[in-house]
Structure 1
Amino acid sequence: MSLQGQRIVVIGGTSGIGLAVAEAAAREGAEVVVASRRQESVDAALTRLPRGAEGHVLDATDEDAVRGFFGRIGEFDHLVYTAGESLLLESLAESDLTRARRFLDTRLWGAYTAVKHGAPSIRKGGSVVLTTGTGGRRPMRGATVAASLCGAMESLTRALALELAPLRVNVVSPGVVRTELWRDLPEVERDGLFESSAASLPVGRVGESADVAEAYLYLMRGGYSTGSVVVVDGGGTLV
């Protein structure tokens, strides 16, 4: 199956994995629509995407804004949700609950809201692809909020796949990938994490956004996949 001529909406599609998905889909001839919170991010993404790509500013935590966004863009074929704050790493004792709620608002409730208002506009044969992470299966210290999110996203995906059938709903679970997700870590710590992860992984390196984007394309193309969690982690859950 090809994505040629299909219309794909990527919320969070202006950087990292989301932008890689938009770029890969566009190379296959898809019409892409990207959205994120900041105008400068949208403008920068459009310089990397082919002519005809659309970009919109959207706060995924604002339900009225999300409802209006889908009302404006009309029908499409696939919804991809990759939006989120940078990774939240802090111990339970030192946790900031306001920040934790904001993290979940964007990544969990933002996805929920996008599917609620976007699903009615998805054409027959289309799909939704959400984003989680391997932290729910193999959490690290200081990742209680992130691990909770990952578990919730997997459960949400399975529930949506049943409720919205025959619309297909799947989720991609990346491992350690070199993206803006880690931007709040000091550079020395970030480089150390990538180096140690690469040394421990069976593939011998950390992932890149383009590696993970292939999983989203597979799930959009694959008409027999729904309720699935596709792990792309270089073998990280094995070691």
Structure 2
Amino acid sequence: MENEFLSKVEDNAAVRAWSEKLQSERGDSLAEGHISELQDFTRVNVVQNELQELRDICASWDEGIKQLFYQSYGDISYLLDVRVDQHLFRALVQFWNSAYKCFTFGEVDLVPTIEEYTTLLRCPKIQVRKTYARVFSSQIFVKKLMSISGMSEPWVTARIQQKGDSKCIPWENLRDLILTHPDERKRVDIFTLSIYGLIIFSKALRHVDEVVIDLFERLEKESHWYQQYWQKRSDL
């Protein structure tokens, strides 16, 4: 920003005015006659995924599967027991600034950091200076889901659904795999994928989005790398 904005914190109106003025002067993105809108309030539907089935599955595991899960993916299962206060959430969301994609409290802007996400996902090797964006094709999505689930291409293809602008797989199909898959490792992987898709990066109710599957496929490789590393350490 210009020097006048560097020495103090400005409110959203001042930042927006500065941004629009600069964009208009440089022809960045605002066309002549464009009217920018910053909503006074953000309305949100607080309906969320029902997680009891995931809790029941986790509770039914024996100690061996639980250890495999914790060694691979850490303690993210605690998210299953986090209770969302809907009244608090409705109050909080009024401070969501949709224009700048952050929470604004008075003169303070807050947004989750890359470091917070990498800690939560136990993936410290993410390149924080690169934006994560990817264009998908149906075939890529199918292959990644086949790799994670261990299921055949016809099985995966038959269960993919279109939700809005993206493809998803229903939670019911993942749940059935967690309960019946003969490979214990796959059951753990699919369970963790469900946590990512239904809690951390939830988009469509009771569905796991293709972007989550792409991200998980990368993180899953990281977890295997850590397992191999610690196994080698223990063998020394």
- Structure 1 or 2: more helix by fraction: 2
Larger Rg: 2
TM-score between the two structures when normalised by the length of structure 2? 0.26
- Structure 1 or 2: more strand by fraction: 1
TM-score between the two structures when normalised by the length of structure 1? 0.26
